[in-house]
Chain A
Amino acid sequence: MIGLAQIGLHNAAAALGLMPFAPPDASSIAGDVDRLYYLLTGITVFFSVLIFSIIFYFMIKYRRRSEDEVAPETHTSMALELTWTIIPSLICVVLFVWASALYVQESRPPASATEIFAIGKQWMWHLQHPEGPREINELHVPVGVPVKITLTSQDVIHDFFVPAFRVKKDALPGRYTSLWFDPTEVGKYHLFCAQYCGTNHGDMTGWIYVMSPKDYAAWLANGEKTESMAQQGEHLFTQYGCIECHVASGSGRGPSLVGLYGQPEKLASGEMRVVDETLIRQAILVPNSVHVPSYQPIMPTYQGQLTEEQILDLIAYVKSLGSQERNGK
């Protein structure tokens, strides 16, 4: 019912040449978020109209007619108090459950999602495809393929916001956050930074291009030939000497990284951690905070020596080793 009303309003607005009530419905959850939004709007309109009308009615019916008029006493009614406590509470429960279910869904990217990495810096977005292409303030993706974006910042807090997809997540310095979306409509959509980040916060905008599979393939082919992130990472792995200690066989001074990504590891502190982007980054920058038993905590830190992009490349390389058998230990 609400959906019909929504479509009706949308069409009416479009027909009248007015701005539609919502941004484009361009992701798998956008429609769901809009439906929840319209329900909330409906509740707001209903209760506002209710209160306004009752007040207007009372204002007119009970206006003071003479100076010495005495208003009769009315007594508090427990039944009334309970009614107008319980009904709003029930409405809140419904809203909470609906919104939370959608939110939980938004927090679980599908396993098949393409992984893109985004680094926010004052005042631009740097995006990296795993196959290699790098983009500034733009992201090209094929329609119908879920995308998970891992975010970080090089300086202050930024926020990756695509209104058409109804997704948003802060990009924080020193850690990784992520969001995902499944683009359902070909088109060009705004990308905004939505966390104030300094002078040109308002200019830290861009575009998401959702393309048909054919167009996307053409775009990939036409682009600069670059190595994939994992290949770049492999170069860095050698260049920065990681390969000296992290020998594949595990007999070096550091543990083998083969097959490591995604596995739970018990650290020397006794803590169990899953080897994910955050752990690898921590291992690179504050190595002896995550060292494993049976290896000495002698890894030097690379704090200040690697850019965020290079760290992500290294992580991609370690991930690419994940498909091989883990060796002993």
Chain B
Amino acid sequence: MSTAIADVHHDPVESNVNYLNASYGIKSWLFTVDHKRIGLMYLAVITFMFTIGGVAATLMRLNLIEPQGALVEPETYNKLFSTHGIIMVFFFLVPSIPATLGNFLIPLMIGARDVAFPKLNLLSWYLFVTGCCFAMFAILSGGVDTGWTFYPPYSSLYSHTPVVIMALGVFIAGFSSILTGVNFVVTIHKMRAPGMTWFRLPLFIWAMYATSLIFILGTPVIAITLFLLGLERLFHVGIFDPAIGGDPLLFQHMFWFYSHPAVYIMILPSMGVVSELITAFSRKKIFGYSFIAFSSLAIAVISFIVWGHHMFVTGQSVYAGLVFSVLSFIVAIPSAIKVFNWTATLYKGSISYEAPMLYALGFIGLFTIGGLTGLFLASLATDVHLNGTYFVVAHFHYIMVGGALMGYLGGIHFWWPKITGRLYPDMWARIAAAVVFIGFNLTFFPQFVVGYWGMPRRYAVYPAEFQFLNIMSSAGASVLAVGYVIPLIYLTWSMRYGPPAGRNPWGAKGLEWTTLSPPPTENFDVPPIVTEDAYNYAHAEASHV
């Protein structure tokens, strides 16, 4: 990369004025407009929310050890799975990579000083925190028991839980996403460094761009849907109540119109991370750059026209079923293309196995399984049998946890030295990655089997013949939980005791690796000028600095 780097020597951390130590005090953080600090503040909040969602999951799996419930009453179990779903979807997965890694990296990767609208970025964070506060208040008031899907008439007329407060929390957090999406789209369009053409952008940026399109187009619809639900609950009007002319299926259509694209919000950024990791750790140009870039866009666009596959058994017409089924098959193809291209990138690479790479490889394997099990659900006749069972639960956890979360962890580990200026102990990181991989499969693979066998989801109690597989799944969950705790420990440890990282500990390509670790507030000492394609590893220079 022919940027005029002012200083190629190793900068000792102490003499480095960077975004972390440029100013001190709580006010300098709460009133910051620096995208990097905002990214870190998001990281703190979503880690907290993940813990809440994780605790709910732990209690659920403990309860499911026994057919009649080992731990809690059904009413509590229903609140646990609802809380788990709502927190994990809206307050963890949707913001995870975009708000943390996206905020931190997008300006760095494109060679900009900050995002297009830094104050709007801070507002997004405050909106997110406000949303979290409403959600936590709802949980502390007893929690909702509607499921994360909030289907009426149950949620509008029958549930005696703080639905409106929780819906308000999701609504407000949604506006955080919308503004982030606007910010990212404008940043990527308008603030690329000279020479950074669209087709020289890292694939992470393409993925974030596609994700931001979904933020912009999809999130307002869930906002208005929950708004209508809230109004119905508050004012006893009958928008979704059949007794006074409403249609509960209209809610489902509107809900899934957002929530299906939302699952692509959750996976596209991870796919972007994987593209970065695979290239960095095989020191090779990505295979099929434009195919991966266009696949990201295709996924974003097609994701908006498949929502009906969540409603195959609602009594909608056979024709609607056929149309949504065919479109759901089509949306699978771009993802398959990506998997093949990543695999081909490894061919004749120079592969090393640090923790980020292990997460990336784990992603490819688990996402492949998760994606293929989606075909079972896109196929109408099998979906009739599988809808509403644990098969669906296993499918989406393979994608969300085996896919999105592994990508997130891989990205955190990869860019941690850049974010903090510190290295973490790679041995522990690899152990944690292996524990997560094993624990994950032990938890969720049995759920495919018990799902086909007929065990419905959201059951606090279940027939005794399903117990063995449930115990296996819960045992796996305990392993998985350990896998998540280990990084918390060593990453926190590294912030104080980790050795200094230097500009480019991995020898990776990308503008973010040319600047100091941690970067200065304005990102680059010298504004970069780009003259080569992304992942130009064939002409590698000295890797470590």
Contact = CB atoms under 8 A, between A and B. Distances in A.
* Same assembly: yes
Interface of A: 19, 21-23, 29, 32-33, 36-37, 40, 43-44, 47-48, 51-52, 54-55, 58-59, 62-65, 67-74, 76, 80-81, 84-85, 88-89, 92-93, 95-96, 98-100, 102-104, 106-107, 122, 155-157, 159, 161, 163-164, 166-170, 172-175, 177-178, 190, 192-203, 205, 303
A73 B282 CA distance: 12
Interface string B261-300: 0000000000000000000001111011111000000000
Contact of B151 (A36, A157, A161): A157
| 9 nearest A-B residue pairs (beta carbon) | A174-B242, A163-B454, A99-B379, A177-B315, A194-B388, A103-B380, A102-B381, A202-B459, A92-B329
Given A100-B322, A170-B314, A172-B314, A190 B454 contact: yes
B76 to A, nearest CB: 10
B287 A76 contact: yes
A315 B389 CA distance: 33
B343 interface: yes
A199 B75 contact: yes
Interface stretch (B177-185, B361-369, B409-417): B361-369
B540 interface: yes
Contact of A96 (B248, B326, B365): B326
B336 A64 contact: no
B291 A81 contact: yes
Question: Could you say which of A59, A68, A170 has the most chain B C-beta atoms within 10 Å of its C-beta?
Answer: A170
Contacts of A93: 329
A58 B346 contact: yes
B385 interface: yes
B385 A168 contact: yes
B356 to A, nearest CB: 14
Given A58-B351, A198-B158, A51 B388 contact: no
A81 B284 CA distance: 18
Contact of B318 (A70, A71, A84, A103): A103
A95 B375 contact: yes
Contact of A201 (B332, B364, B459, B468): B459
A6 B351 CA distance: 40
B380 A100 contact: yes
A70 B380 contact: no
B453 A161 contact: no
A51 B361 CA distance: 10
Question: Could you say which of B289, B329, B378, B456 has the most chain A C-beta atoms within 10 Å of its C-beta?
Answer: B456
A43 to B, nearest CB: 7
A173 B248 contact: yes
A92 B384 contact: no
B460 A202 contact: yes
A86 B288 CA distance: 16
A199 B78 contact: yes
Contact of B385 (A33, A193, A200): A33
A13 B285 CA distance: 47
Given A67-B543, A84-B336, A95-B329, A23 B348 contact: no
15 contacts: A23-B454, A44-B375, A47-B368, A47-B372, A68-B543, A70-B350, A73-B538, A74-B287, A89-B333, A159-B313, A169-B313, A172-B242, A174-B243, A175-B315, A196-B458
A96 B325 contact: yes
Contacts of A178: 315
Contacts of B343: 51, 54-55, 58
B430 to A, nearest CB: 14
A296 B131 CA distance: 54
A42 to B, nearest CB: 11
Contact of A76 (B291, B353, B469): B291
Given A62-B348, A199-B145, A96 B379 contact: yes
A92 B375 contact: yes
Contact of A59 (B75, B336, B351, B382): B351
B380 A99 contact: yes
B91 to A, nearest CB: 21
A198 B346 CA distance: 49
Chain A: interface secondary structure?
mixed
A207 B280 CA distance: 57
A144 B526 CA distance: 80
B153 interface: yes
Contacts of B537: 70-71
Given A37-B385, A48-B372, A106-B384, 13 more contacts: A33-B381, A44-B369, A44-B372, A63-B352, A81-B337, A98-B381, A99-B379, A100-B322, A103-B325, A156-B151, A166-B381, A177-B314, A178-B315
A98 B151 CA distance: 31
A157 B538 contact: no
Q: How large is the interface on B (under 10, 10 to 19, 20 to 34, 35 or more residues)?
A: 35 or more
Question: Could you say which of A89, A96, A178 has the most chain B C-beta atoms within 10 Å of its C-beta?
Answer: A96
B137 interface: no
B461 interface: yes
B349 interface: yes
Question: Could you say which of B383, B454, B543 has the most chain A C-beta atoms within 10 Å of its C-beta?
Answer: B454
Given A37-B376, A156-B158, A202-B462, A70 B369 contact: no
Contacts of A167: 384-385
A99 B381 contact: yes
B462 A95 contact: no
Nearest to B381: A102
Interface in B424-456: 449, 452-454, 456
B339 interface: yes
A80 B458 contact: no
B159 interface: yes
A221 B382 CA distance: 38
A51 to B, nearest CB: 5
Contact of B453 (A23, A36, A96, A107): A23
B373 interface: yes
B13 interface: no
B459 A88 contact: no
A156 to B, nearest CB: 4
A99 B325 contact: yes
Contacts of B154: 156-157, 196-198
Nearest to A166: B385
Contacts of A98: 379, 381
A88 B153 contact: no
B340 interface: yes
A82 B468 CA distance: 44
A73 B394 CA distance: 39
Given A64-B351, A71-B284, A96-B329, A55 B453 contact: no
Question: Could you say which of A100, A155, A202 has the most chain B C-beta atoms within 10 Å of its C-beta?
Answer: A202
B96 interface: no
Given A40-B376, A102-B380, A192-B454, A73 B158 contact: no
A81 B368 contact: no
Contact of A172 (B145, B249, B348): B249
A103 B384 contact: yes
Contact of A36 (B364, B381, B456): B381
Contacts of B361: 55, 59
B521 interface: no
A106 B381 contact: yes
Interface in B8-35: none
Contacts of A76: 287-291
Contacts of B350: 62, 64-65, 69-71
Contacts of A177: 314-315
A21 B391 CA distance: 13
Contact of A163 (B74, B249, B453, B457): B453
